[in-house]
Structure 1
Amino acid sequence: MAVIIENDKIRAVINEHGAELSSLIAKGTGIDYMWSGDAKYWGRHSPVLFPIEGKLKNDSYHFNGQEYHMTQHGFARDQDFAVVECDDQHATFELTQNAATKEKYPFDFRLHLTYLVKDTTLTLDYSVYNPADEQELFFALGAHPAFKAPLMPNEKYTDYELTFAPAKTRKKIPLANSLTDPMHEFDVNENRLAVSRELFKNDALIYNLQQEPTKITLQDTKQKHGIQVGTKDAKYVGIWSAYPKDGQFVCIEPWWGLADPQDADGELTHKFAINKLASHQEFKAGFSVSLF
């Protein structure tokens, strides 16, 4: 089942399975800005990354002396969410613990995703709540939206570019075999990037945003149309596309967490960039996607 929210300018379609945004259409042009999800290249549109972002070393972790196994990006993207609020322009989706999640993750939790359309912008707000009376909740969270590039039939993938605002020097985090090396992040001044297949030959580009407000724009080089992702407090952003496959999309991924470092010891409470919630506390985050 899918939920549609819309105003007079944009329409968003969100699947209850994974609470995944599958379509984002500008009504004036009919352009759908989201990747089609063609499994030949990458079979998703905009998965929710919870309760981990990225990969665990050996796909496993330990908590309270017990070993648990979880594959890359966690389980939320493969769970059915409940729709708990919905009207023409907004919808809230909920996921809580169940027997399947408890096998991989021993915590009670409540995850809410709220989608809202306003003018030509879609906002996505996250809420993570710890319902336990005594136990702390450890988690990471992330987004993985894939935006179509090119958007127009007379364009090519390489007609697009990425720009960052504010323009500044940022820390970049090495990634190898899907594991990170945050202790060796290094300064880069990469505020404008030409989109090409070779740009992603070493997997995702990861930037430390230091929770500073940031806008990342994907647009054609003539700057006629594209999208702008805005985040107020993301810890990191990942930029990714298929390589060497010729997938016609670019992912701009705000993250509140990070894949395991290569030297991770496997203890969840030690996990780099993990978030921790006390009993009955709530974590909030979010980002926006503006169309032009």
Structure 2
Amino acid sequence: MAIMIENQKMAATINEHGAELVSLINKTNGKEYMWSGDVKYWGRHAPVLFPTVGRLKDDTYKVDGKEYHMGQHGFARDMDFDVLKVEDDQVILELHSSVQTKQLYPYDFILRLTFKLTNNGIQVGYEVENPADEEMWFGIGGHPAFKVPMDRNHFYDDYVVKLKPQTVRNVIPLNGSYADIDHLKEERTSEIEVSRERFKDDAVILDLGEEPTTITLTDNDQRHGVQLKTEDAKYVGVWSCYPQEGQYVCLEPWWSIADTVDSDQDFKHKFANNHLGAHQTFKTEYEVDVF
């Protein structure tokens, strides 16, 4: 079922399946900013990535010597969430560990997503609670896909992704589906031009160092676009399909990353993974403003 929320300026639709934001509309001009989810190119809109981001080595990992199997980006995006709270301009959705999830992931958890409209966009909050007496490890991230082009006056390759502040960041290459952290490239990357060829090797991944960062996707005239703001994401992935010509670009704030090339597949050793002690809670958010 889809839940609609709105305020005076913005309207959004969130699916209970996957707790996925599927529509974000500026009511002033009627403009839709989210990708349509055309299955010919990529059938999702903004999946939540939990309890892992990216691909595990051979889709396999171990906890305390026991082997588990889990697909790319985890399972939360394919599960039905419970509706915890609905107001005019916000909704809170929740997913609990279950017999089904324990087959894929051994930990007890409570995952909450909060969607709250602002004057110019939406805040997306993540909360991971460990209800157990034992510690847990997890990854989490966002994968929102934005419509490109955003108007009739521009084409796909008229767009650019800009990052602020302008600073030196590590660019993390992928070796197949895995993070190749032994071959980091240190670059003063403040702009990423959008083109099909730019994504021929998959996502462009930047290390944000858990520092406040604004990532803007806009046309070269800066007429329309989106700004994604994060205070503490570890990485951002910028991605679109290749060689297919899907009309979207994803700005993906991540608090984890795919397995490294040399991963030993022990989930407790996983590079950039997150840890929660017994009965602890992890909270973070990102915000999207539209113009």
Could you state the TM-score of these two structures normalised by the residue count of structure 1? 0.98
CA distance in 2, matches of 1:274, 1:266: 12
Q: Identify the residue that residue 36 of structure 1 maps to in structure 2.
A: 36
Q: Which residue of 1 aligns with 2:181?
A: 182
Displacement of 1:37: 0.3
Q: Report what 1:116 is aligned to.
A: 116
Q: Does 1:150 align with 2:149?
A: yes
Q: Deviations over 1:192-230 (max 9, x none)?
A: 122110110111000000000000000111011100000
Higher deviation after alignment, 189-198 or 65-74? 189-198
Indicate the larger mover: 19-28 or 186-195: 186-195
Any idea what SS the aligned residue of 2:100 has?
A: helix
**Runs of 4+ that moved beyond 4 A:** none
Q: Does 1:89 align with 2:89?
A: yes
Structure 2: unaligned runs, 5 residues or longer: none
User: Which residue identity lines up with residue 52 of structure 1 in the other structure?
Assistant: T
Q: 1:154 Cα shift?
A: 3.2
**Whole-angstrom CA distance in 1 between matches of 2:260 and 2:46:** 24
TM-score for the superposition, normalised by structure 2 = 0.99
Deviations 1:263-287 (A, max 9, x none): 1001111100010000000001110
- Aligned runs of 1:132-147 on 2, under 5 Å? 132-133=132-133, 135-147=134-146
1:242 is aligned to 241
Structure-2 residue corresponding to 1:194 = 193
1:231 match: 230
AA in 1 matched with 2:59: D
Task: Say which SS state the counterpart of residue 270 (structure 1) adopts.
Answer: coil
Distance in 1 between residues matched to 2:276 and 2:55, nearest whole Å: 21
TM-superposed deviation, 1:184: 2.6
Describe the SS at the equivalent of 1:269. Answer: coil
Cα deviation code 1:17-68 (max 9, x no counterpart): 0000000001111111000000111010000000000000000001112100
What is the distance in 1 between the residues matched to 2:221 and 2:96? 45
Correspondence list, 1:242-261, <5 A: 242-261=241-260
Q: Quick one: distance in 2 between partners of 1:154 and 1:121? A: 23
Q: Which residue of 2 aligns with 1:204?
A: 203
Alpha-carbon shift at residue 152 of structure 1 (Å): 1.0
Partner AA of 1:53 in structure 2: V
Return the letter of the residue paired with 1:171: N
Is residue 274 of structure 1 aligned with residue 273 of structure 2? yes
C-alpha separation between the residues in 2 aligned to 1:126 and 1:233?
12
- Counterpart Cα distance in 2 of 1:116 and 1:71: 29
Counterparts in 2 of 1:58-137, with a 5 A limit?
58-133=58-133, 135-137=134-136
**Identity rate of aligned residues, in percent?**
52
Q: Secondary structure at the match of 1:4?
A: strand
Residue matched to 1:55: 55
Aligned residue for 1:171, secondary structure, equals strand
Shift of 1:82: 0.5
Flag structure 1 segments of 5+ consecutive residues without an equivalent. none
For 2:66, the aligned partner's letter is: Q
Residue type of the partner of 1:91? Answer: V
Partner of 1:164: 163
Q: CA deviation at 1:10?
A: 0.8
Corresponding position of 1:10 = 10
How big is the shift at 1:168? 1.2
Deviations 1:106-146 (A, max 9, x none): 1100000001011012001110000002x111000000000
| Cα deviation 1:135-168 (Å, max 9, x = unaligned) | 1110000000000000112321011111100111
Letter in 2 for 1:265: D
Give the length in aligned residue pairs.
291
Q: Pairwise CA RMSD of aligned residues?
A: 0.8
Amino acid of the structure 1 residue aligned with 2:7: N
Structure 1: which amino acid aligns with 2:185? F
Question: SS at the partner of 2:268?
Answer: helix
Q: Equivalent residue for 1:285?
A: 284
Give the Cα separation in 1 of the matches to 2:192 and 2:143: 19
